[in-house]
Structure 1
């Protein structure tokens, strides 16, 4: 039985914890949120705090001593120094076997064309700086997952386009990934670690106007208007698929996966 420490209990983190409930592993969830009154016996919650000035992570009680895998799913929002926060996690667990970090494809420069893991990065992006801290601390046993735009049964970016009369960049490609594909990828990494940097993105890239227009009509019963212009990058997620013999399973165009988004998200 392994001990898996998860930082972050948000939209993605909570879903992954639920996936692991049936496993034989011991799961420790470190979160700023209030500790649930009831939880599964395999799951232990630890309250964490962020140092006001430095952003360093602090545990309310002593941190766990022996951890096999760490998965960090903390977004950079509302953090004083995101890179320092991530670095403080790394330094508290120097002997961890495998360190997994959910990054973002937003770290790439806004160039047109296909972008793989060697693409040009935004040098001062907080997530890029965090990635570098991880690579310095764990040069041989860290996995960085650069996630495309997140979608799921209760979350879809289409609702943001409903707020504008005319949306920009209608011809730009979309880069999206369903939460269920991410959860399967994380499980694969726990079962068969292969450290490295991987993009996770569904291998279909319709234009924004075509894709979001379809979603808006089907789910929100609304027509969207887009400017007939724009270009952008296409994220290539084939490295992960080839390395782990994985086929992306949740088609971003399959409306059945998105019905629970609901019209109330306007």
Structure 2
């Protein structure tokens, strides 16, 4: 009863109700929160309404936030920012400008806490295990854009921010069988993978909100890290597709994402610890 009383008086806005954000917002509705969600296209508004989510159409460029009622969307206790940097030549500066505009709007809103959905792609391949204590500059534009966005949010004083860096997203309609099927001489076959199932994304985010864990940074990837060769070969075979072949003798590039911090902090056990078991 206490949890119900707590949640029914809390409101959450989910900026970006796509593959992850839509089921997440739906879960919050089931848990008793007042939930608002945003999509970029008018056609998708109905899918939010059907789940009991108050729908908003919202687009962010580097120049403006296009939303007919931005104040209404941000009239919440908690904001979850869940949209990746777009693929474009100026990805770093463009995404930073998007986040800067968003911060200006948040600062004049009732939002107290922000959860920023980031990615473990902020790390280059260091050929070792990586924890949250590692501070290594990204080499790719998308990683550089995310780090800039993270730092902009963490430096604010009018609200608190937690960063959740997710591994590669899998689950339901996002399964890997077709990614590499039939491809030849794929590089880095012996590199361990870092993926996370949608169920665990929802479980971890829900626990962060419920336990009110703010002003921190966490990694999240499944406990087991099979090699690319193991994973994509089995995925293709299980789907009846031609397995890929992998190049031999080239230097290995990899990273292993350690998720111990978030598991210990939230007392969380992964629902899908072994990616191979999902195939």
TM over 0.5: yes
Distance 1:156 1:56, change over 3 A: farther
Q: Structure 1 length as normaliser, TM-score?
A: 0.87
State the partner residue of 1:30.
38
Matched, 1:252 2:275: yes
Determine if contact 2:176/2:235 at 8 Å carries over to the other structure.
Answer: no
Q: Larger deviation: 123-132 or 240-249?
A: 123-132
Total equivalences in the alignment: 254
What is the CA deviation profile of residues 115-138 of structure 1, one whole-angstrom value per residue up to 9, with x for unaligned ones?
011221317611111111111125
- Contact 1:174–1:234 (Cα < 8 Å) also in 2: yes
**Map of 2:81 onto structure 1:** 72
Equivalent runs, 1:3-82 vs 2, <5 Å: 3-34=11-42, 35-37=44-46, 39-40=49-50, 42-51=52-61, 54-64=62-72, 66-78=75-87, 81-82=94-95
1:97–1:141: 8 Å Cα contact kept in structure 2?
A: yes
Q: TM-score, normalised by structure 2?
A: 0.84
- Corresponding residue number in structure 2 for 1:216: 236
Unaligned runs of 5+ in 2: 1-8
1:86 alignment partner in structure 2: 99
Identify the residue that residue 199 of structure 1 maps to in structure 2: 219
Please give the alpha-carbon distance, in whole angstroms, between the structure 2 residues aligned to 1:144 and 1:21: 22
RMSD: 2.1
How far, CA to CA, are the matches of 1:93 and 1:208 in structure 2?
A: 41
Write out aligned runs for 1:86-235 (5 A): 86-94=99-107, 95-119=110-134, 120-122=136-138, 125-138=144-157, 141-162=160-181, 164-195=183-214, 196-228=216-248, 229=250, 230-235=252-257
Change (3 A) 1:62 1:199: closer
Q: 1:48 to 1:225 in 2, by over 3 A?
A: same
Partner-residue secondary structure (3-state), 2:30? coil
For residues 78 and 233 of structure 1, the distance between their equivalents in structure 2, rounded to whole angstroms, comes to 23
CA-CA distance at 1:55 after TM superposition: 4.3
Cα pair 1:31 1:48 within 8 Å, conserved: yes
Larger CA deviation: 179-188 vs 16-25: 16-25
State how far apart, in whole Å, the 1-side matches of 2:176 and 2:86 are.
Answer: 18
How far apart are 1:156 and its partner, in Å?
2.4
- 4+ residue segments displaced more than 3 Å: none
Q: Distance in 1 between matches of 2:262 and 2:124?
A: 21
Q: CA–CA distance in 2 between the matches of 1:77 and 1:68?
A: 27
CA contact under 8 A between 2:125 and 2:253: conserved in structure 1? no
Work out the CA distance in 2 between the residues paired with 1:248 and 1:55.
40
Q: Counterpart of 1:93 in 2: which secondary structure?
A: helix
Task: After TM superposition, give the deviation of residue 163 of structure 1 in Å.
Answer: 5.2
Shift of 1:193: 1.5
